[in-house]
Structure 1
Amino acid sequence: MFQKKRVVLFLIFLVSHVHSFGFVGHQIAAAIGQRFLSPKAFRNVFELLPKEAHGNLSYIAAWPDQVKHTPEYRFTSPMHFISPPNDYPPNNCTFSWSPGKYDLINAIHNYSNRLDPESDPNFWPRAEALRFLVHFIGDLHQPLHITARDRGGNGSPALFEGHHINLHSIWDSSLIYKRIREFNENSTFDYNLTEIDNQFNSSEPLFGGPFYDLYLGYIIHLMKTTWRQELSSWTICQEDFELSTEFSCSPNQFHFTSTNVSSEYFTVSPMDQNISHSVACPEFWAIQINELNCKVVYNGYEPKLDLSIGTYYERIVDGKIIEKLLAIAGIRIAAVLNTILG
């Protein structure tokens, strides 16, 4: 029997650079995760990052994509996704996995265990594990990384802003870039970036410059306000936990654990781990993400329909689906790192 463990997330609450979830998507998820690291976890993360990262977790978030086709790391390519048997959205969304295979679920368990200081005292195996773990948790929150249809949507031709690409690329990058661009051009949202930077667990600002600063600030704002009551549910390891189709913020659509909120910390204590192979529980989290392929990703999909406009895109924007997937990925990155390193 696997040792029972609890994922304890100390969220430092703010009072005041490819494929697979896209380069920027991985950076944003890591940037969110870093904001919710406990002080001890951040110190340990800092030591495992290269010096040129200046303590910024987002610096290494896309590294596994950059090396997965090199001879040394080619074996990791299948770890970026999982293709559940009998899964074919939108007709059928079903998730299952088998321990020991080369896939996304097993990779998250493997690198969670390898990051544990007790697993290997040497620097590089644990630094390498950190890079893969942060990236793979990000991949888990791109729905097409956990479907069997058309090689995760790579074989689903699609049209976006007049360009012929595939559905996987749209959900990896195109939607995120479009949201950032529209937000920068049209949003009246004004967030105090200086205030955010002053509360960073980093030696230098983590923001990516003018490109996605405002968008990242907006997601953090949603986490502090609209989704505040939901944060404790995002790290729950529970098979019957459900995400609503529209990613609604209605509290009665989520399961909760007891919380203790102070001015600085938001403590979350999910259920004990008695099934997972590590402190993470991607096999539970993947169930709800997989269901989004039926409810959202392939719902209304037509190869000749431009998915950057009309009902398909409006549903994604109105439901804040991209923003919430990035936020949940970030929270879960923090939860796992706080448990292992905090």
Structure 2
Amino acid sequence: MITMFQKKRIVFFVLICFIPHVLSWGFVGHQITAAIGQRFLSPDVYQKVLELLPKEAHGNLSYIAAWADQIKHKAEYRFTSPMHYTNPTPLIDNPPSHCGFDWNAGKVDLITAIHNYSNRLDPNSDLSFWPRAEALRFLVHFIGDLHMPLHLTGRAKGGNGLRAIFEGHSTSVHAIWDSSIIYKRIREFNENATFDPNFTEDGSRFNSSDPLSGGPFYDLYLDYIINLMLTTWRKELTHWTFCNVDFKLSPDLPLSSPDQLYFSSTNESSDHFSLLMNQKISFSTACPEYWAVAINRLNCQVTLNGYDPKLDLSIGEYYDRIVNEKVIEKLLAISGIRIAAVLNTILREKKDSSK
């Protein structure tokens, strides 16, 4: 006799097995970066974010993180399609042989979109509620897109034209990095997990009111990344907000930068946020054109390094390096920190300079 508890456990793991083939980074990957970002928001900024979230979000920034993917095929939003990626000049960027990033401020792309929606979210923009709420949705999503390396190269349409094998399935390199690797990592963390009886039959929680709860599929993985940020990568967190910084995969390598985004707060109740406090102010809210340089380089170092269309990339040296160097986890963590950095900068209380 199978108990209800056992039925829920079976449903949960069946869903986990099928997820990689039906969803994309645009779903869970973006939700994870938003959940990380929310944990590093200052308390006052979180309240302002809360005002821009729909009621059904229950205070979760992750709820709107994939919205930009969900609406981009609608007629009124088709103009946003080029905003999800940017293509450097092929002459300087042809991974894996050579990687390079350049940007033309006059074109509609991912970099321009981040700057545009940063400005539209600003309370001083004088925009009404919906344009600013819409800007929050786009901004959180596009900062996430920036940290998927294949969104920063035009080679084979960002890897969409490169056929590959992953877990025995025919796919593309882009799909592997958009979804397959991250879902494989989530499954690996959930395989030995104790099943939570608070999951409903469809895999969702009975109680979804906790604004810091990621969701049934990735809670353990999210906790693992947060733990890395508070331990192994603790000294790197503020460095990730620098402009013109070349971040490393190895945690013990030094980082330096002349510019840093503003973080400050008179309320230290958030332990996560207090890790990022400093007094240096940057003139720009976001600097995606600088951040993109190091991320683009990963296409030569990792993404297409060792790519072979005849090999199953879910096993062997290719996948092992991604896991051992925590490449996906670090990209998600850096993206989350930068989401927090930008939102804390845009939405913080501005001091009256006339006093």
Q: Using structure 2 for the length normalisation, give the TM-score.
A: 0.81
Within 5 Å, give how 1:75-224 maps onto structure 2: 75-86=79-90, 87-186=93-192, 204-224=210-230
2:52 corresponds, among 48, 52, 59, to: 48
Equivalent in the alignment of 1:32: 36
2:236 corresponds, among 196, 208, 230, to: 230
Matches of 1:141 and 1:206, distance apart in 2: 22
* Contact preservation (8 Å) 1:20, 1:139: no
Secondary structure of the 1:150 match is coil
Cα shift readout 1:174-196 (whole Å, capped 9, x = no counterpart): 000000001111579xxxxxxxx
Matches of 1:203 and 1:209, distance apart in 2: 11
What's the CA shift for 1:210? 2.6
Matches of 1:209 and 1:105, distance apart in 2: 30
Matches of 1:340 and 1:24, distance apart in 2: 25
Unmatched 5+ stretches in structure 2? 1-18, 195-207, 349-355
Secondary structure of the 2:165 match is strand
Cα shift readout 1:112-149 (whole Å, capped 9, x = no counterpart): 00000111341000000000000000000000000110
Matches of 1:78 and 1:186, distance apart in 2: 41
Secondary structure of the 1:151 match is coil
Higher relative contact order (CA 8 A, sep 6+): 1
Unmatched 5+ stretches in structure 1? 1-16, 189-201
> Which residue identity lines up with residue 60 of structure 2 in the other structure?
N
RMSD: 2.3
What's the CA shift for 1:52? 0.6
Matches of 2:180 and 2:212, distance apart in 1: 23
> Which residue identity lines up with residue 313 of structure 1 in the other structure?
Y
What's the CA shift for 1:70? 0.4
TM-aligned CA distance change 1:314 to 1:19, over 3 Å: same
* Contact preservation (8 Å) 1:21, 1:138: no
Equivalent in the alignment of 1:192: none
TM-aligned CA distance change 1:85 to 1:293, over 3 Å: same
Q: Using structure 1 for the length normalisation, give the TM-score.
A: 0.84
Matches of 1:260 and 1:55, distance apart in 2: 22
What's the CA shift for 1:213? 0.7
* Contact preservation (8 Å) 1:20, 1:80: no
> Which residue identity lines up with residue 91 of structure 1 in the other structure?
S
* Contact preservation (8 Å) 2:240, 2:247: no
> Which residue identity lines up with residue 255 of structure 1 in the other structure?
S
Equivalent in the alignment of 1:197: none
> Which residue identity lines up with residue 256 of structure 2 in the other structure?
H
Matches of 1:61 and 1:311, distance apart in 2: 32
Q: Which has the larger radius of gyration?
A: 2
Matches of 1:39 and 1:272, distance apart in 2: 21
Equivalent in the alignment of 1:13: none
